Structure 1
Amino acid sequence: MIKDESPTLSSIQQFKGLSRERVDEILQGISTLKVGVIGDGCLDVYWHADMTQSELSRETPHYNLPVTRERFAPGAAGNAAVNYKALGCLEVSFCSMAGNDWRGQQLQEAFRLRGINDAYVQVEPGRVTPAYCKVILQGLQGAEQEAPRIDFINEQGCSEAATQRLVQQLDLMAAQVDVISVTDQLEHGVIGPSVRDRLAYWAGQGKRIVVDSRDRIGHFKGMVLKPNELEALRWYNGSLKHLQATESELLRAGQQLSKLAEAPCCITWGDKGAVWFEDGQMTFVPTKPVAPPIDIVGAGDSFTAAFLSAWGVGCTGPEAVAFAHLAAAVTVGKCGETGTASPQEIRDRWQRLAE
């Protein structure tokens, strides 16, 4: 009988966790860190419609959506930038493209209100500033329900001329920051081949870079890759099918992805934890589930921000992953919002686990 030697989580080394003193050291280091974020900056729009004031139109057989309140926040890569700021990083800069439209103006204003440097955001005439518009219907007795989202999107990629201008802004930002966070989220976003090549150049110069890419995780070289399990398996299998993988398949995917990128890889796996791949070795970093109710929106951004911040101040990969688990746990506990994690909230999460 042939013995199955496929790797499983129980067969690889496991990281035991961080001490309170180490968490404090990491947070102190983060307070001196300068972070650059590049990627698809979106505007998150929230329209609160009070349906108790809705009226039937005189012209059409429809009731209106009476918006009584609206608010704006940076979304996608912009939300990653917000997370770095919430963690207490010394400086956070943002590099992207925006359109010459009301959403671009609101996005840049949202950055400035949060103390994020938007000097590397270039405005491109004809470009659409992506936006996720969420209509929140409010009814009797405080009832709320979110209607289908309205998205503003680009139907084609960036022009070569616009991309080269973005690369120039990336170079200016990279020269001023300690680490770079990459969010590649949209089908026709700003992270194309020329930007990936330039990021690889800066990684070769010793700049610590972490990539979060929804559909192109296998296209980056020399940078730490941080897919979730679905993104890793989609790359590994080449399709959206067969995403219910065994532990062995996920571990093989991480090994191959790290080998292809010629860099470490971190695959997050929901409330199980994450696996760190480096130099052919694997380390499982477990996490503890958060008691319901939970909301996973924004958890990936919080994880990435905390991971890169910790790694950027000298943590090992497994240490940085364990620190990121603390931040993500804070975020998923914030329902109805795209949450962030502050230094005190991270300390409080560590304390609850220790009790």
Structure 2
Amino acid sequence: MGTEELQSLSDISQYNGLTRERIEYILQRISTLKVGVIGDGCLDMYWQADMILSELSRETPHYNLPAVVERFAPGAAGNVAVNFKSLGASEVSFCSVAGPDWRGALLKEALTTRGIDDSFVIFEAGRVTPAYCKVIMQGIQGVRQEAPRIDFINREPLSEAAQQRVVAQLDLMAQKVDVISVTDQLTHGVMGAALRERLQYWSSKGKKVIVDSRDRIGSYSGVVLKPNELEAIRWYHGSVKQLQPTEAEILKAGLQLSRNSGAPCCITVGEKGAVWFEDGQATLVPTMPVPPPIDIVGAGDSFTAAFLSAWGAGCEGPEAAAFAHLAAAVSVGKVGETGTASPQEIMSRWDKVR
């Protein structure tokens, strides 16, 4: 059957060759890996409000939200960097743009306290440090509910001059790392045409680069792409309305995306696993289901970090994806937090499902 006639994931070959010995080898190699992360760094803020303490305001007909716990962590590309540290990478460097505001200071603090090199982060006047602020209300018997999120966002694209300053930082970072992970998440974020072109240059020089992009996955060339199924289908159809793609559409999208970029592509397909596209061929890398309760927040970041780590350690695409499934499975099992996976947790996951 020709690649253009593929109708379902059952029509393509499967990879099931990962072994415990290979996982141990990959983890050992990761411990020597130097990683660079570039893209949209955000600050994730969490305020836990104890509603038992809430009082009716004297000025408005509303009850207040008494915050009793406050915590913050790197989000978006920052969370990808945290995942690399959790996997045991020897060095993790972070390149992004922050605003000269209190959130930018907290983001840098959140990075450095986790052992991430933030020296490639630049502060740009007129920019806002993106942040996702979440209020979790807790009531009687510990019942919890999340209030509408408060977001800090930029409403204009990064200037050309600022783009060039980020390109210069990328060049400095690329010279000291083995692999580069890219997170292109925000509408008016860090990743523009100049950076995309420079990433292609570094890939042509042998640097291993992987890109995770929410809305611009088709704008990158010469680098490995890692969209999920919806991101790939939205690119393929040029529309955000295609929400239930068929397996045949996913396969067509992946093959076309790989051809367009001139590089391999890895599409994650939820509980079915991932599909690796290379040289006009598609390979299904299945995964094992994770029993509930689960929390998928951050699972894509864990997959990306583990995939690039394994790929940087010398694995072929399908083997790297199989390893990444283990990290993602650990991550989704951590309810109520943006999960990561440590080497010990990955080994435990393998032993549990095999």
Q: What TM-score does the superposition give when structure 2 sets the normalisation length?
A: 0.98
The residue matched to 1:259 in structure 2 has which SS? helix
| 1:290 match | 290
The whole-number CA distance in structure 2 between the counterparts of 1:10 and 1:271 is 15
Q: Partner residue of 1:118? A: 118
**Other-structure match for 1:267:** 267
Q: Is the 8 A contact 2:112 2:118 kept in 1?
A: yes
Amino acid in structure 1 at the alignment position of 2:239: S
Most deviating of 339-348 and 135-144 = 135-144
Distance in 2 (alpha carbons) for counterparts of 1:324 and 1:310: 8
**Residue 170 of structure 1 aligns with which residue?**
170
Shift of 1:17: 3.3
Q: Deviation per CA, 1:276-309: give whole Å up to 9, x if none.
A: 0001111110001101111100000000000000
**Counterpart in the other structure of 1:94:** 94
Shift of 1:58: 1.3
Aligned residue in 1 for 2:308: 308
Runs (4+) of structure 1 exceeding 4 A deviation are: none
Tell me, in whole angstroms, the C-alpha distance in 2 between the residues paired with 1:191 and 1:81: 17
Note the C-alpha offset of 1:244: 1.5
Q: Secondary structure at the match of 2:68?
A: strand
1:36 is matched with: 36
1:5 Cα offset (Å): 3.7
Match of 1:145 in 2: 145
Q: 3-state SS of the aligned residue for 1:230?
A: helix
Partner Cα distance (1:49, 1:61) in 2: 18
Quote the offset at 1:252 in angstroms: 0.7
1:179 pairs with 2:179? yes
What are the Cα deviations for residues 159-193 of structure 1, in whole angstroms up to 9, with x where unaligned?
Answer: 11111111100000000000000000000000011
Kindly provide the CA deviation profile for residues 199-257 of structure 1, in whole angstroms up to 9, marking residues without a partner as x: 11111111000000000000000000000000000000110223322211110100000
Shift of 1:86: 0.1
State how far apart, in whole Å, the 2-side matches of 1:289 and 1:123 are: 42
Deviations along 1:35-68, one digit per CA (max 9) or x if unpaired, are 0000000000001111111111111111111111
- Code of the residue aligned with 2:55 in structure 1: it is E
Partner of 1:12: 12
| 1:163-312 paired onto structure 2 within 5 Å | 163-312=163-312
Q: Secondary structure at the match of 2:338?
A: coil
CA contact 2:6–2:251 (8 Å) conserved in 1: no
Deviates more, 1:142-151 or 1:56-65: 56-65
Tell me whether 1:72 sits opposite 2:72 in the alignment. Answer: yes
Of the structure 1 ranges 39-48 and 244-253, higher mean CA displacement relative to structure 2 is found in 244-253
Q: 2:98·2:104 contact (CA, 8 Å) conserved in 1?
A: yes
Separation in structure 1 between the aligned mates of residue 96 and residue 245 of structure 2, nearest angstrom? 35
Query: What is aligned with 1:320?
Result: 320
Structural RMSD (CA): 0.9
Task: Classify the secondary structure of the residue corresponding to 1:347.
Answer: helix
SS of match in other structure, 2:283: strand
Counterpart of 1:133 in structure 2 is 133
Amino acid at match of 1:297: V
Deviation at residue 7 of structure 1 after TM alignment = 4.1
Asked if structure 1 preserves the Cα contact closer than 8 Å seen for 2:230 and 2:242, the reply is no
CA distance, structure 2, for counterparts of residue 9 and residue 239 of structure 1: 23
* Residue identity opposite 1:228 in structure 2: N
Q: Would you say the 8 A contact 2:230–2:245 is kept in 1? A: no
The count of corresponding residues between Structure 1 and Structure 2 is 351
Is the contact between residue 15 and residue 284 of structure 2 (CA under 8 Å) also seen in structure 1? yes
1:125 deviates by 1.6
Q: Which moved more, 1:244-253 or 1:171-180?
A: 244-253
- 3-state SS of 1:307 partner: helix
Specify every segment of 5 or more residues in structure 2 that has no aligned partner in the other structure, as ranges: none
Partner of 2:82: 82
Distance in 2 of aligned mates of 1:349 and 1:18: 13
Q: Distance in 1 between matches of 2:292 and 2:174?
A: 40
> Helix, strand or coil for the counterpart of 2:107?
helix
Amino acid corresponding to residue 298 of structure 1 in structure 2? G
AA aligned opposite 1:339:
G
- The 2-side partners of 1:168 and 1:228 are apart by 30
Determine helix, strand or coil for the equivalent of 1:288: coil
Q: Report SS of the residue matched to 1:244.
A: coil
Deviations 1:310-335 (A, max 9, x none): 00010000000000000000001110
> Could you tell me how far apart the structure 2 residues matched to 1:246 and 1:40 are?
31
List gaps (5 residues or longer) in structure 1. none
Aligned sequence identity (%): 72
TM-score, length of structure 1 as denominator length: 0.98
Which amino acid letter does the alignment assign opposite residue 299 of structure 2? A
**Secondary structure, aligned partner of 1:48:** strand
Distance in 1 between residues matched to 2:338 and 2:251, nearest whole Å = 30
Asked whether the 8 Å contact 2:226–2:267 carries over to 1, the reply is: yes
